Homo-oligomer: A and B are copies of this chain.
């Protein structure tokens, strides 16, 4: 038998703590970008896989490179059409790079622009995964507060001016303008145009993340920032995770070729999985337009279930809006509640939530806030999960005082 090997002295500095063993999904799962399994188009995906493999399966022998390193061409062509109709983006298939989820998009854009000590601007409440990646890179992250329409440009301008005064050039402004994560806000076209002007004035890139933009209840949304800027100074990312299935891990980057050529040079992974791109292209060209409204309708119903459950269980203790799309709800509890502690206690009771501080650069502001994702659990699970969460919250923090119109004091 070989003696145990101590690898600890060899670890790179800053390596995160070890992962814990997986113990399965929580009973009440309100975290993660999971989707509604009832709206996973299994039979249509089987048809798509069969058709595309039979026609082009042999190209898997050559890294799918018949389409070049940007990714499966029919998928890029589908996207070019979809982005034009949906987001107003005029781009060719050669200005689209398929990525392994929009997570890889985030990483590639960071690799392109951000090095240790660099400053980036983000929405004060924003995607936790983006914050984690920036922290690991050692970037200085400045959060800009949001209002009902998203990024507050008055504060942004002030911050840009201040940074300029201190000779600091921020690398990008990261924004989720269409169904903001976690607030659900949609930035109007006028503010988008203002943002473009402001970013250009200070020579900062705009990094536009439109992961959730397919899931707008009305089906209507403003033109993307990329579209309004004619692509100048903007990098746009998106994903099929929320509209089809997160486990396919297919996202994309849209950028002008001079920017995209730099990003492509950084994508040294021998390509993203070709089968998933091929199946998606085959599926989407026939079914995307019909699939998304059906999914949206189901998600919208789940959101209302969640809002009703919260009103019933938390009463006035929970404040939240009525977001126009997405898969999450951003909630404020009374100031006495610490949602990091609440998340730990809830976890023990089988309820997973995102505590606000993980989704914000302002840990104090977010302390009593949380994010609940509603796409995955069934309506009955949503109702029961919120009931359990309210019980845990009452036990730990004394609120809500009333649930289901019954005084619990």
Contacts and interface: CB of A to CB of B under 8 A. Distances in A.
Interface in A245-267: 245-250, 258-259, 261-262, 264-266
Contacts of A275: 247-248, 273, 275-276, 279
Interface stretch (A38-46, A309-317, A362-370, A392-400): A38-46
Given A19-B261, A94-B21, A275-B275, A12 B248 contact: no
B16 A265 contact: yes
A304 interface: no
Interface string A32-69: 11111111101101100110011001111111111011
A287 to B, nearest CB: 14
B115 A13 contact: yes
A2 B268 contact: no
A153 interface: no
A356 interface: no
Contacts of A9: 169, 203
Chain A, interface size: which category?
A: 35 or more
Interface stretch (A79-87, A97-105, A339-347): A97-105
A112 interface: yes
Interface stretch (A155-163, A212-220, A228-236, A383-391): A228-236
Given A58-B37, A248-B60, A22 B69 contact: yes
Given A62-B37, A113-B11, A274-B249, A18 B57 contact: no
A196 interface: yes
Nearest to A50: B46
Interface string A8-30: 01111101111111101100000
A1 interface: yes
A270 B171 CA distance: 25
Contacts of A279: 275
Given A49-B49, A69-B19, A205-B10, A247 B62 contact: yes
A404 interface: no
Contacts of A6: 203
A271 B245 contact: no
A276 to B, nearest CB: 5
A262 to B, nearest CB: 5
B54 A17 contact: no
A17 to B, nearest CB: 6
B12 A111 contact: yes
Given A35-B61, A115-B12, A100 B100 contact: yes
Contacts of A54: 42-43, 46
Nearest to A70: B22
Nearest to A6: B203
A197 to B, nearest CB: 9
A129 interface: yes
A69 to B, nearest CB: 6
Contacts of A129: 268, 270
Contacts of A62: 25, 32, 34-35, 37, 246-247, 376
A133 interface: yes
Nearest to A57: B42
16 contacts: A2-B200, A5-B232, A7-B205, A9-B203, A10-B113, A15-B266, A16-B265, A21-B94, A22-B70, A32-B62, A32-B65, A42-B57, A43-B54, A63-B246, A248-B274, A276-B276
